[in-house]
Amino acid sequence: MKRILVGIKRVADSSTRVRVKPDGSGVALDGVKMSINPFDEIALEEALRIKERGAADEVVVASVGAADWQQQLRTALAMGADRALLVQSDAPLESLDVARILLQLVKREQPFAVILGKQAIDDDNSQTGPMLAALWERPQATFASKIELREGTAVVTREVDAGLEVLEVELPAVFTTDLRLNEPRYVKLPNILQAKKKPLEVLTLASLGIGPRARVKLVRVEPPPVRSKGIAVKTAAELVEALQKRGVI
């Protein structure tokens, strides 16, 4: 069975404007619309396209989070994933613990590719992919904008600061997605109904032998400093004058 494992994180929808809680303990998420992390949606879309091309037999989606994350896994199943795994943890986990958990799932599922988002848009950490690759002792191709599967390898175009880099990695490997890899499909209503019948397995941390370590403490969360109000100019000439006054040209 040629299998792809895709990681899914539940995050505040990218269209919402988050607010910091007055007590500084975090970000207020009550009543906020939650979605699949956009980069993970791209990861799933890529896996589905690989399967549709006949290069994979099964797409498994996995989350490490609270019980209500099942909602996003159901959406992933409605998009076309075959099975879902939820490793249930009510407390938020550090990326390295998530990577350790994913490694256990990798050992269980034996995928030839693990595709993850390059970052989650809540904590913006951008860590889990390379961490999993390190623990698994397999190659990584991060920030992928093109994944081309060959016999036993993948040729990956990566969006790096200098431009585009191309790597060839032996499989199995970990891939993380950049924005321009693909455009995820919309979920169709009949698929949502079908997804209810697809298997979603809930696992405990203990069953995987993982004890989270919590070595980074969140001390407080604050709103960012506010920029002072700017001025309005009416013409290009006034703009040049204002820039000169500020000494920036």
Residue ranges in 134-163 that form contacts with other proteins under rule CB under 8 A:
134-135, 137-140, 142-143, 145, 155, 158-163
Q: The tokens of 118 are what?
A: 């390059």
Nearer residue to other proteins within complex by CB, 66 or 134: 134
- Min. distance of Cβ 69 from other proteins in angstroms? 19
The site for other proteins, by CB under 8 A, has a size of 80
Phi, psi of 94 (to 5 degrees): -75, 155
Shortest Cβ distance from residue 158 to other proteins (Å)?
Answer: 8
Residue 44 vs 169, nearer CB to other proteins:
169
The span from the CA of 159 to the CA of 118, in Å, is: 11
Cα torsion 149, 135, 77, 186: sign: negative
State how far the Cα of 50 lies from the Cα of 11, in Å rounded to an integer: 25
Q: Which of 29, 32, 30 lies closest to 15 in space, CA to CA?
A: 32
Phi, psi of 77, rounded to the nearest 5 degrees: -65, -40
Closest distance of CB 205 from other proteins, Å: 17
Choice from 130, 184, 187, 212 touching other proteins (CB under 8 A): 130
Rule CB under 8 A: is residue 31 a binding residue for other proteins? Answer: no
Only one residue has tokens 């075959």, namely 82
Taking CB under 8 A as the rule, which mask of x and - marks residues 85-114 in contact with other proteins?
---------xxx--x---------------
**Pick 63 or 128: Cβ nearer other proteins:** 128
- Least Cβ distance, residue 68 to other proteins (angstroms): 19
**Residue 6, helix vs strand vs coil:** strand
Residue 240 touches other proteins, criterion: CB under 8 A: yes
The candidate with the shortest Cα–Cα distance to 115, out of 129, 135, 131, 96, is: 129
Distance of CA 98 to the CA centre of its chain: 12
Residue of the chain from 55, 66, 121, 149 that contacts other proteins (CB under 8 A): 121
**Per-residue x/- marks for other proteins, 166-195, CB under 8 A?**
xxxxx--x----xxx---------------
Q: Which is nearer to other proteins, 33 or 180 (CB)?
A: 180
DSSP β-bridge partners for residue 69: none
DSSP-assigned letter for residue 25:
S
